[in-house]
Structure 1
Amino acid sequence: MKKAIISVSDKTNLLDFAKGLTENGFEIISTGGTQKYLNENGIETISIEEVTDFPEILDGRVKTLHPKVHGGILAKRDNDDHLATLKELNIDLIDLVCVNLYPFKKTVTDESKTNSEIIEQIDIGGPSMLRSAAKNYQDVTVVTDQSDYEVVLDQIKKDGHTSLELRQRLAAKVFQKTAAYDALISSYFNSQINQPAPQNLTLTYNLIDEMRYGENSQQKAWFYEDVVPKKFSICQAKQLHGKKLSFNNIKDADAALRIIREFDGPTAVGLKHMNPCGIGKGETIEEAWDQAYLGDPVSIFGGIVALNRPVDVKTAEKLHKLFLEIIIAPSYDDDAYEILAKKKNLRLLTVDFERKDEPVRNETVSVMGGLLVQEQDFLADDVKDWKVVTKKQPTPEQLKTMEFAWKAVKFVKSNAILVANPQRTLGVGAGQPNRIDAVKIAIEHAQKYIDDECVLASDAFFPMNDSVEYAAKHGIKLIVQPGGSIRDQDSIDMADKYGIAMVMTGRRHFRH
């Protein structure tokens, strides 16, 4: 009679699967809680102790790590020496292994769990049996995903066994699962010893979706999520309406969330091609949107909008008038949703803004043949640490505008220049090969709104004083920049010449 080992922590759909196996000639060997569960539900099992002739020991830490288990799994059926060894040692063949692992991820993400409780959820016997069965997929069926129960049973019912093709696919899934499991454990240990840069980096993600295409139609693409999900992320966003998100939509939405996360008061962000085209704030979300829209009413066409307050009717009516790809908000009032949902393709997403400050994994960027890893640029800049380097001193209110502009320019592609007033961004110069061109672009967009309260923010230092001179000649009276150039004094002197108040933050915010 064929034998199957079943030992699972997650018992979803298990009864039908186990019953199907017994109805098709399998004896079931089981362990601990799984055996109790099956027996209580009328499915006869053989205990692992009966197979090994050895009791579970060390509070269940050792129960399946035994030659009579792994010998029965790993023996090659077409190898006479293997079969003779099993006969001599009275070891039965095991034809199917059904195992899912201790819930380490659930435990490690539970803040109430102690280190000792987390360690106990590191599965040893389960991965060992899975790896043995997967290695011997030529002869053994290995099941670690409940979604595979049905196809395995269907083939057994039809043919009396599973196909080699299916067994190989299931084996590949096992090694994916165990690799991800080990990566999560490794990440936990690295965090415990404060090891930010391990010698070998193994990242693990879960597939969310296969995209229609990538950045361009000729590129295939897939969407993966961190194995430990982050609530404030595009991965966990809930789509209420509209067509499926594209590869570029997801990148833009992520960029918008990174920006909106920086602001606490009612704020609206308009974004296009991963650069903000308008950031506005107000007493209400409607006022914030009005300001963001004024920031660049041309570029927002076909862009996306992120709002950090629920969308009300008045705001929805204004958004409805525009062609937008995506709107992201904490929620939508019922009437506001009805208005926006009239556009069948407009994607309406909600995100948990209460979790915007949760820790996130380091960010990664692929390069040919490798990977760059860095911490995310979360460091909050404290105005108290800034240095006024000019004769002209900014007022407290002007410093607040500088702070707003500094937060905003942080998310503009370098070289980045941004002009803002106390309520909104006025002009953005993004991604230019030289800084003076970025200055010209930002000022051109902002020109008709520039007054004495406008701030020009630069994500990195001015290499020469030409940017300061150009800004001064176009009405800029306030500049915030990190400083750090060997020619800083030239820029300071130019600012003094034109009566500009310049502040240096001491920290740049490149975004490549």
Structure 2
Amino acid sequence: MSGPRIDPSLYRERDRIPIRRAILSVSDKTGLVELGQALAAAGVELVSTGSTAALLQEAGVPVTEVASVTGFPESLDGRVKTLHPAVHGGLLADLRLEDHERQLDDLGIRAFELAVVNLYPFAETRASGAPAAEVIEQIDIGGPAMVRAAAKNHANVAVVVSPDGYDGIRRALAEGGTTLEQRRALAAAAFGHTASYDRQVADWLAKETGERDRVLRVEATLAAPLRYGENSHQQASLYTFAEGRGIAQAEQLAGKEMSYNNYVDADAAVRAAYDFERPAVAIIKHANPCGVAVASAKTVDPIASAHIRAHECDPVSAFGGVIAANRTVTLRMAEQVADVFTEVLVAPDFESDALAVLSRKKNLRILRLPADYRREGWEFRQISGGVLLQTADSFDAERGSAQHDSSGWRLVSGEEVDDATRADLEFAWRACRAVKSNAILLADGGASVGVGMGQVNRVDSCHLAVSRAGKRARGSVAASDAFFPFSDGLQVLLDAGVRAVVQPGGSVRDEEVIDAAKRAGVPMYFTGERHFYH
């Protein structure tokens, strides 16, 4: 089945079309009264529904209720209002065709030149945790039908689905009407609006029925073009999720514009810092930590303490790095950061004095995270020909894992450690998750002292962590993101003088590795869970 075929020679040219009649039906009332007043002042007849009409009437804007146009009252608790030929004929009539104009006259239907429509708050109702019956009532029927009708007929009708489009309509009133180019752009936005809405409904129903959707739907809106990607010859842009509350939604308070690499590193830094409940700072270079620390136990300025301890892990690599804090940045921390060339500093907030100090560094990008920052529950990665999807790796207790603290660990060598050592092991295990595999992290006193990352074998990662730690390796604790396949990697750590080790276990040579720890008299714990990060 297909639509009617019409001889193209019958179409009459229409570019700028004056707005004489408009239908308004919106759930988002932002700017509605002001728009209604502007339309009425320009002599536009307004037709409206329900609460939209009531708000306009309260503001003294003359409006005709849709029931007066259709000759049929709103019914079924408002489910049926606009589904009527008197409405849809006025939206769908293609007045480039003389025959359509004649049919409207015969039927006594008047055309609309403008539809201002947005849809019931389905997503907001769903997110509120409302019962299914309430969510279903927010599945709009008449609204999408009007939007799609007007958008299809954009040769004759302008359709606006967001208050962001109201200024353009006001300008069009002053200029004598909307242009075809303007109406075409509005139609594209309108179809995107209804497509997004339908996806939200489909995804919710699939979840409610327990059916995993067979199609991965990812919708994001262009937030900003970026100067280039990872390298200067690559194009790049930032897109944001409507319900996102992460680094993409961070507010930039000062500094140069963010780059592709800045966003990648800032996200990795926040991911690392927010793994800790205590005040913590992570310093990232090329998506790998060159320092992670929590505040020392006795300090008057916890976040400044965490920063200086993270910086001391590898001051050379921290030059030109990206810093994330999980607490408000204080003046003292700002003064510490100001002494080191830093690309990006991201935090939940900044003291006013701290922001003043940091803003003097013209090249430092300063980002404030959303107050309700959260990571996405799912992660996806593009591969050639498809996409991989997985749940996010985290230490959230709600995830159902017993490994978010040490209560589920199993001691496989040595004696039970004291509280201070256990705290260091828990810190190292959390911090290690933010390191690219193969990952080894040495820590002491709640701060990393040596990091071995991204090596193609675990022995090299052990050597790298030890060499970066230097003398600080002796007496530190060690965490490995995955099991030691042989005892040789562990032996590097034992020879360096680590006092305790935590690792997932699970190798076919676990006994060989355990024996090495026993010979050295070093306590070693198995977590039973690995944290690869590729």
How far apart, in 1, do the equivalents of 2:42 and 2:354 lie? Answer: 56
| Residue pair 2:283, 2:310 contacting (<8 A) in 1 also | yes
Q: 1:511 aligned to 2:529?
A: no
Deviation digits for residues 1-50 of structure 1 (CA, Å, limit 9, x no counterpart) = 94321112233333443344455564322112222333343433332112
Instruction: Quote the residue 1:141 is aligned against.
Output: 158
Q: Which residue pairs with 1:475 in the alignment?
A: 497
Q: Give yes or no for contact 1:183–1:203 (8 Å, CA) kept in 2.
A: no
Residues 290 and 314 in structure 2, CA contact (< 8 A), matched pair in contact too? yes
Contact 2:450/2:473, CA 8 A, preserved across alignment: no
Q: Which residue of the other structure, out of 418, 424, 430, is the alignment partner of 1:401?
A: 424
Matched, 1:366 2:382: yes
Counterparts of 2:483 and 2:489, CA distance in 1: 10
Tell me, yes or no, if structure 1 residue 205 matches structure 2 residue 237: no
Unaligned runs of 5+ in 2: 1-18, 397-402
State the TM-score, normalizing by the size of structure 1. 0.90
**Counterparts of 1:352 and 1:98, CA distance in 2:** 31
Deviations 1:379-418 (A, max 9, x none): 4523121112225554443222211111011011111111
User: Given that residues 392 and 496 in structure 1 are in contact (C-alpha distance below 8 angstroms), is that contact kept between their aligned partners in structure 2?
Assistant: no
Counterpart code for 1:4: A
1:163 aligned residue: 179
Residues in 1 aligned to 2:358 and 2:247: alpha-carbon distance in whole angstroms: 20
3-state SS of paired residue (1:325): strand
CA contact (8 A) 2:244 2:376 kept: no
- Matches of residues 123-138 of structure 1 in structure 2 within 5 Å? 123-138=140-155
- Provide the C-alpha distance between the structure 2 equivalents of 1:174 and 1:361, rounded to a whole number of angstroms: 29
Structure 1 residue 147: Cα displacement: 2.6
Map 1:74-85 → 2, pairs under 5 A = 74-79=92-97, 82-83=100-101, 85=103
- 324 and 29 in structure 1: CA distance in 2 versus 1, 3 angstrom threshold: same
Distance 1:235 1:386 in 2: 36
Structure 1 residue runs without a partner (length 5+) = none
Counterpart for residue 494 of structure 1 = 516
Quick one: which of 413, 422, 442 aligns to 2:436? 413
After TM superposition, the structure 1 stretch with the greater mean CA deviation from structure 2, 311-320 or 12-21, is 12-21
Give the drift of 1:317: 2.4
The farther-off stretch of 147-156 and 18-27 is: 18-27
Q: Write the letter of the residue equivalent to 1:183.
A: R
CA contact (8 A) 2:70 2:87 kept: yes
Residue equivalent to 2:52: 34
Q: 1:120 to 1:314 in 2, by over 3 A?
A: same
Structure 1 residue 426 displacement after superposition? 1.3
Q: Distance in 2 between matches of 1:428 and 1:245?
A: 27
- Determine the structure 2 residue equivalent to 1:154: 171
Shift of 1:87: 4.5
Partner of 1:176: 192
Aligned match of 1:245: 258
SS of 2:466's equivalent? helix
Q: Does structure 1 retain, via aligned residues, the 8 Å contact 2:274–2:280?
A: no
Could you tell me whether the CA contact under 8 Å between 2:270 and 2:325 is conserved in 1?
no
Contact 1:461 1:485 (C-alpha < 8 Å) held by counterparts: yes
**CA distance change for structure 1 residues 145 and 364 in 2, over 3 Å: closer, same or farther?**
same
Partner of 2:139: 122
Kindly report the root-mean-square deviation, in angstroms, between the aligned alpha carbons of the 2 structures: 2.6
1:462 and 1:272 mapped to 2: Cα distance? 26
Alignment-derived partner of residue 186 in structure 1? 202
Give the stretch that moved more between structures: 75-84 or 28-37. Answer: 75-84
Check the 8 A contact 1:302/1:323 in 2, yes or no: yes
What's the TM-score once normalised by structure 2's chain length? Answer: 0.87
**When the two structures are aligned, how many residues end up with a matched partner?**
504
Question: Hey, what's the Cα distance between the residues in 2 that align with 1:296 and 1:205?
Answer: 37
Is residue 338 of structure 2 the alignment partner of residue 320 of structure 1? yes
CA shift in 2, pair 1:335/1:166, >3 Å: closer
- Asked if the contact 1:28/1:44 (under 8 Å) is kept, the reply is yes
* CA distance in structure 2 between the aligned counterparts of 1:157 and 1:338, rounded to whole angstroms: 44
Does structure 1 conserve the Cα–Cα contact (< 8 Å) formed by 2:203 and 2:213?
no
Q: Which residue of 2 aligns with 1:466?
A: 488
Identity of aligned residues (%): 42
Deviation, structure 1 residue 307: 2.3
Aligned to 1:70: 88
User: In the alignment, what sits opposite 1:59?
Assistant: 77
Q: Secondary structure at the match of 2:316?
A: coil
Q: Which residue of the partner structure matches residue 14 of structure 1? A: 32
Q: Do the aligned partners of residues 157 and 506 (structure 1) sit closer, same or farther apart at CA in structure 2, a change above 3 Å counting?
A: same
Q: What do the CA deviations read for 1:104-153 (whole angstroms, capped 9, x no partner)?
A: 33333335x44433333322211110011111222222111223233334
Q: Following TM superposition, by how much is the alpha carbon of 1:322 offset from its aligned partner in structure 2, in angstroms?
A: 0.8
Structure 1 residue identity aligned to 2:195? A
Q: Is the 8 A contact 1:102 1:123 kept in 2?
A: yes
Separation in 2 of the partners of 1:67 and 1:457?
Answer: 70
Q: Which amino acid aligns with 1:365?
A: R
